[in-house]
Amino acid sequence: MIVIPDARTAELYAQWSRAGARTDPAEAEPLALDCVRRLAADPGGESAHVWVAGLAAMVRYLAWRPRPETARAAVAALVAAASALDATDCGHEAHPYEEELEHLSEDSWGSVGAAADYLIGEHPEHPRLEGELCPGNVAGIARVTADVIAPFSASGIPEAVPEEHAQSVRDLKEILNDYPVIEPAPEIESNTGYLSDHPTRGALAGYVLTQHVTVPYAVHRITLRPVFDAMIEGLERALGLLGDAGGCAHADGEHPDEDDLYYESVAEIGFHVRSPGGRAELAGWLDEPADVWVCPDYLRGLAEEALGELRSAHEELFGVRDTSGLDAAFVRPDGHLDIGALTQTFVDADDLDDSGVAGQNAGLWAARRHAEATDPHERLVLLHLALWAASVFDLPYGVGREVRALLRGIDPEPLDHDCPHGDGHPDADLRESGHRRKVFKAHLDHLYAPAEFGAPEGAYPVDVWACASLLADWARDPIVAMDEQYEEMDEEDDDDGSIFR
């Protein structure tokens, strides 16, 4: 417990310490304005350290939602005090506040702002150290406090990136470069949690920047719904914290254009902007005015853009797709399958472009058609199409859960018995190999419509394609793969229906 010799200062400090982000402005504003007025009246005076300590103690309130004029006045008084106090040549090469900088990560709410209570009192178990009351140290605390309230408002803060932020930058860069050392999905989901209910402007800006720069990787590499849910929820919260649009002081074209920046640079900015020492480093190498990176209007645009991409990907990966329009492409006027068009969609599919989505949708359409079809022969072909899709495509959960439901209906019991066909089954590589899709297409075309499509080399009779052992064998690996890939989503949806778990 700190011991403050002066009774009046001790009473004030008790009041200052209670002024946090949740404090009613009716209580906090008079306390903050009193400190501001006293410090502004004599920024380099003998009592300056008391009022600097007061504003530092109330930094959580001042960094959240004080009256704008109060925040501006506090920053102006703190910067003036830093300048006045620095005019005294103390002779110290370093000051105690500098040792704190590498620990001041604002996304950890407990470490917002520099400690300043020792300026007005002493902890009996920790006697006051040399230089703690030095004007240069008080000036440093004033600068840090001003910078927390209004990022980049105070120059002269030493560069010091917290190690946890430096490590997060390294991890994120590795992920974005697609050479991660750690598991990307847990790291990305973990990053969504670094947003308090009352963040500083720097912490909120850093959160939006890192989420925005992560979106392209998440959309193209992550297939876990909880990660998308966490990113969407976090950005929705960030938008609410940013408030309504308007009030931006920047001219047209002054906001950064991320298309002109390498994503590694944005990843660094996104973490460095969350601490006074990190912002000091940023200010040294940014070409544009540093404060544009914490502009609420700019950040709001990034958050809305990121949310739009995430919601669209969420729907594509995990939503229920509408395949009703594919009837016109895959069903002939006489009601029979246009098997040539259907299998050609599989042949043409490439997971790296829209044709891959078309292939996924064709597999989903086949699974749904199977549920309604009554002709056993058509159902057999549709089942093989669903098996094909599950084997050659990386099916997102929204598609795969329906395809898997069909495959789960295949009886695994024949796997425990010898098959009368012996080694007379088609090689699984025929179905799984991307290089043999045209060959497999020829087999399925002939299987469905032998009168229309000639028999390919090594054609198999219908009873082989319908063999219970073959179907069970071909279904097992895709089901196991999907069970592993969908484990987290299955747990959320209370799905434990796999026969191979």
| Highest-pLDDT range among 96-110, 155-169, 235-249 | 155-169
pLDDT of residue 500: 63
pLDDT of residue 432: 74
Cβ 112 vs Cβ 60: under 8 Å: yes
Cα separation, 332 vs 337, whole angstroms: 6
How many C-beta atoms lie closer than 10 Å to residue 116's C-beta?
Answer: 26
Tens of pLDDT, residues 167-220: 999 999 999 999 999 999 999 999 999 899 999 999 999 999 999 999 999 999
Between CA 296 and CA 303, with CA 300 as vertex, the angle to 5 degrees is 135
Query: Across residues 227-234, what is the average pLDDT?
Result: 98
- Nearest CA among 352, 416, 337 for reference residue 384: 337
Tokens of 474: 């071909």
Tokens of 397: 């959960």
pLDDT of residue 243: 82
Cα separation, 135 vs 289, whole angstroms: 29
Cβ 217 vs Cβ 172: under 8 Å: no
pLDDT over threshold 70, residue 425: yes
Between 132-136, 188-192, 379-383, the lowest mean confidence (pLDDT) is in 132-136
In which band, very low, low, confident or very high, does the pLDDT at 129 lie, cut at 50, 70 and 90? low
- Nearest CA among 96, 129, 131 for reference residue 115: 96
pLDDT of residue 9: 82
Cβ 292 vs Cβ 255: under 8 Å: yes
Between CA 333 and CA 367, with CA 459 as vertex, the angle to 5 degrees is 45
pLDDT of residue 486: 94
Cα separation, 358 vs 303, whole angstroms: 30
The type of residue at 20 is G
Long-range Cβ contact pairs of 239-244 (< 8 A, separation 24 or more):
239/300, 239/303, 239/304, 239/307, 241/195, 241/199, 241/204, 242/204, 242/208, 242/296, 242/299, 242/300, 242/303, 243/296
Between 2-11, 75-84, 283-292, 316-325, the lowest mean confidence (pLDDT) is in 2-11
pLDDT of residue 5: 66
Tens of pLDDT, residues 75-91: 999 999 999 998 777 77
The owner of tokens 């500098």 is 98
Tens of pLDDT, residues 452-481: 999 999 999 999 999 999 999 999 999 999
How many C-beta atoms lie closer than 10 Å to residue 213's C-beta?
Answer: 23
pTM given for the model: 0.89
Between 26-40, 191-205, 371-385, 411-425, the lowest mean confidence (pLDDT) is in 411-425
More confident: 46 or 93: 46
pLDDT of residue 382: 98
Query: What is the residue-averaged pLDDT of the chain?
Result: 91
> b vs e for 335-356, b when ≥16 Cβ sit within 10 Å of the residue's Cβ?
eebbbeebbbbbeebeeeeeee
Instruction: Give bridge partners of residue 122 from the DSSP assignment.
Output: 3
Cα separation, 405 vs 392, whole angstroms: 17
Between CA 454 and CA 462, with CA 457 as vertex, the angle to 5 degrees is 65
Query: Across residues 410-439, what is the average pLDDT?
Result: 84
Helix, strand, coil percent content, the chain, rounded in steps of 5? 65, 0, 35
